[in-house]
Amino acid sequence: MTPSTFARRLTSRRRQLASAAIVAVALGLLGMLYAALAPRGSASTSADPAVDEGRALFTKLSCASCHGLNAEGGERAPSLVGVGAAAVDFQMGTGRMPLQQHGPEAPRKRPVTSEANILKVAAYVASLGPGPAIPQFSSADWQKADTAFGGALFRTNCAQCHNFAGSGGELTYGKYAPTLSDATPRQIYEAMITGPENMPVFGDKQLTPPQKLAIINYVRTIKTQADPGGVGLGRVGPVTETVVGWLVGIGVLVIVTIWIGARA
């Protein structure tokens, strides 16, 4: 190594140090300027106390371990900016979040925290960006909706995955559409407007709120409907019915025939 190249290297090293120092000083000045100009206290609190409590819960309930401290998302979980309060209420209210383990489909579980806490987290996430709000309707609203029309809409938009009686069904690569028997009217509504996991989104212009209430009424009506045959067999259609018919029905007939033909 000749002295001239050594000197040149030294100069370039010095230059780098200098530019780093300039950036550091500029950042420091900017920070001081911000601290001086920004309104006091706004960095950590907001107008709504629920948002602050929600932010605390977001870390405490370990949402932040995957979604990031500011819900910006990460390698393992999506950003929550703009998903709205309805998505939080659905995912936490059905116990799907916090996620137990990564897999093709998040199963329904008992919620880890109270509804009040879920609403606080929802308020926090909603404050991050505009998204679908938690739908407000009473049970009288959906109970007076048109069940038959809801059934037609359900068969066009929902039955292909969730089965004609809302029993759920398989999708690709281990994913599945869950049964609707446990879903509350609010959760059904939230699922339609947020499209959890692989479910498509059904916005209010595609399925209007009255149409959504009609679908909810249909789902709740078939849930409470009796099985006229005595046993629903999971209400998954002709496959189970045929299996039971062949194995149990014909099996019993064969056994009885053997008994009749056997010598005393």
In contact, 185 and 224? CB cutoff 8 Å:
no
Among 39, 41, 174, 228, contact with another protein (rule: CB under 8 A): 228
Contact letters for another protein, residues 106-145 (x by CB under 8 A): ----------------------------------------
Considering only residues 42-71, where is the footprint of another protein by CB under 8 A? none
Burial-class residue 221 by CB neighbours within 10 Å (0-12, 13-18, 19+): middle
Binder to another protein among 206, 244, 247, 254 (CB under 8 A)?
206
CB of 138 to another protein, least distance (A): 24
Q: Which residue(s) pair with 176 in the sheet?
A: 170
For another protein, the closer CB: 28 or 245: 245
**Residue 59 C-beta: closest distance to another protein, Å:** 26
For residues 212 and 192, the answer to whether their CB atoms sit within 8 Å is yes
Nearer to another protein, 49 or 104 (CB): 104
* Residues 67, 58: Cα–Cα separation, whole Å: 9
The Cα–Cα gap between 127 and 138 comes to: 25
What are the structure tokens assigned to 171, written together?
């999708």
| Range 174-193, binding another protein (CB under 8 A) | 175, 177
Q: Taking contact as CB under 8 A, which single stretch among the options 19-27, 41-49, 107-115, 204-212 is the one that binds another protein?
A: 204-212
Q: Is 161 in the site for another protein (CB under 8 A)?
A: yes
Stretch that binds another protein, among 2-10, 31-39, 112-120, 198-206 (CB under 8 A): 198-206
Residue 176: phi and psi, rounded to 5, are: -150, 160
d(C-alpha 146, C-alpha 221), whole Å: 11
Applying CB under 8 A, the span of 36-44, 55-63, 111-119, 195-203 interacting with another protein comes to: 195-203
Asked whether position 203 contacts another protein by CB under 8 A, the answer is: yes
Rounded to the nearest angstrom, the gap between the alpha carbon of residue 10 and the centroid of all alpha carbons in its chain is: 56
Asked if 153 is part of the footprint of another protein (rule: CB under 8 A), the reply reads yes
223, 119 contact by CB (below 8 A): no
Q: Which residues contact 114 (CB under 8 A, 6 or more apart)?
A: none
Task: Give yes or no for residue 230 binding another protein (CB under 8 A).
Answer: yes
77, 152, 233, 236: which one binds another protein (CB under 8 A): 152
CA-CA distance, 27 to 21, in Å (whole number)? 10
Q: Which stretch binds another protein (CB under 8 A): 59-67, 88-96, 154-162, 239-247?
A: 154-162
Q: 120, 54 in Cβ contact below 8 A? A: yes
The single-letter DSSP state of residue 136 is: -
- The reply on whether position 197 binds another protein by CB under 8 A is yes
Q: Is 257 in the site for another protein (CB under 8 A)?
A: no
Question: What is the C-alpha to C-alpha distance for residues 196 and 88, in angstroms, rounded to an integer?
Answer: 10
Binding site for another protein (CB under 8 A): 152-153, 156-157, 160-161, 169, 171-173, 175, 177, 195, 197-203, 205-206, 211, 226-230, 259-260, 264
